[in-house]
Structure 1
């Protein structure tokens, strides 16, 4: 009990009251022992309070300087900023809300001079939370001036994430040349190069004495199309024709990388199809567009492909998988390209020499993408058709060998686009019904399977025979092909008699589209297969 009484009554805390007493002395000449003169304004103050608050004033009044004995001191500082600092000394409080960036800069100057580190930190945090399109360049200049790296990085990130709005702001004309050059050097300043050119043209009109060639040298000319060059750049007359072409030729063949959106503006959704209207995706080329996302058909002429079928995703996204359905039962050859800026397209998949059908399952190393372009190269009716499309980032992707998927699952299924081209019973050996089978007469034809697309294959698994036969006399051989013209042996069991059961075969892995199974011995002179897997679903 005694301890509780001592704890409750053994001390007094009047910190708040003491602060209130100091507050009443602010701008009060009562007991003032020094006058601070700023711009001919006389401000009463107290040496003791100033010295206790700031090492700057402590040194000023304590080190035997002339000011030590003087009752009036002149300071060459901004008046409003000094009054604010003085109020902070007497009250411990400052409101930044009604101050513009210029006033805050003056305030920071004094906080730096008078060594108020906590005030400097508070100003930096406040600016960080007030960065906007209108003031970001001023805050960036401020952070550069005082080497405030954290604030500078936050400001640059803001500009990167709002690069288009930044270029379109009216205050762009006020931004100094060196700052613009530094921003344009950034890979993450993600704006189409032609938009940067147009903005710099407006900037130059407001800053005619600046050396525009310096800024134009930061434009990545290899990402400006020849059409934009002829229709926009040359007519601008921002440089004479000789200078303009010299710049264009100098940078057009350079290895300068494309600009890439900052990470915070990149979609990193996983296992989600982002090629949907809900995610902002749209078609920007390709005839008859009502979807791709709504099971309608987009197509283009093989002879006049133009920009093919181009899908623009809602934002730059990380993807490693594209899936789409080739319309009709036709065979198609195609190429796929991707782009970040819609100007420079990089090759992703080249199936221009392969016969593909139905569903296409494309996998590739994860990359940044906003534009996906499909261009048909061959078709049986001179048109390339696509009627469903998906793009996403998957957690796991199969191995890629020489540009082809090496599947870890059976792709000889109708769901994966496979079809039996020749053989009695058609696709029955590609489904899971053990009561059905595909067959052919011995010495008359073969069973030929076409996969939906080229794969890198090194194994097969077959359930030989059928439920009506328990024969152990199954002999056959299996060949593979990419064009159904030239065949390569994969499995040769012509000199063996295999039971009507599951059998697994491995061979030298290779690109495969067509698979021909030719029986040389079977029940009642018929070779049959109930199930076929490519590759084998069972690991040896």
Structure 2
């Protein structure tokens, strides 16, 4: 018996690339016009749709023979650079200035071109210096590119002397300044203070009010009284008694304990009163993470408040509008606390697995949305173990959509609501991953934070196996999968669903 070995070769790959480049150069049979100040840039809808989730969603229901996109501020040369990448997968950055490369990053981020974003971040690493890092960090924050933010902070920490004293540092945005102050603990504080005061002077009109919340991030107790007088003269930013109070409070915080990634909750100091759980840590600790498991299948909206003296309480988690259940991993900005209170907003009995309750300072930094206080998980959180549930749809085993990525099927009758998954708690998400096996599938994905208002975030036609929908980050607690075409017997099938943020 003779065995035949078959090998797949990319014999036409180079020719295909040349043809795509020719199509980009000539714009034959174009059907998209980018119009920038009366200047037209031509493109092809099918290329844009194939390469970009942004354009796929934009053109999804369009039947126009010609699509015109008007822009007032878009740089034509930068658009041409990004379009060449979309058509050919190739890009040249060495002839661009750092400012222009940042514009490429912003456009790639808008068009959800992740590979291009990653490539540009890698190039910016070698363009970074004391003059450019403030603007790079501003862009990294506005585009929410975590890797680039980390690169900038590492550079500033390692080169604090030349970065903080450079005039360009004063061009930092307020969010960038907050991030720098939060990560410059080991930098000489007098250097940080001097740079901060110059930044305040430069941006005084834009700030309107003195950024008290930023000032307290600097260790003022490390700065001599003569330097602190700058807060009072020539134009007083705040009364000297306020400065003294800040210094005193910071000295008291020096007595605060912090044990990274170690649970500091004391079992004997956890008490239940009605629908509230109180935890006494017995001394002040710096914490930013709470983990609890809500017992049973009952859903509970709840809040978490913290206090250092049992008199003044601050709310760090407000899930009073979210029906939560199962395992809850709660993240919040660093707090110095002694007491923690978890209060259910439901009339149902509130039971928490007390032996498994954890309070800690996590070194695994996560992104927390300042407006909603929700955090972005990098791992899949749509799992049965964490408390996620399939609340609409059927399967050959309960909640199969969340358990077995390859072995089971879930389905619903086309015309019904869809396959709907409820997460154990709300998150900031931007990615849904699906497995349709080998059956051609047409679908759309919708998300909601309250089950009543739904937002479509993406969809595809005639696709198979693993698919991924990426969309701008938003609060999500419910995910709905809707089939656009039935598979068999009027039903729409799916093997697996995952949710996370990237």
Q: Give the TM-score of the pair, scaled to structure 2.
A: 0.47
Q: Give the TM-score of the pair, scaled to structure 1.
A: 0.44
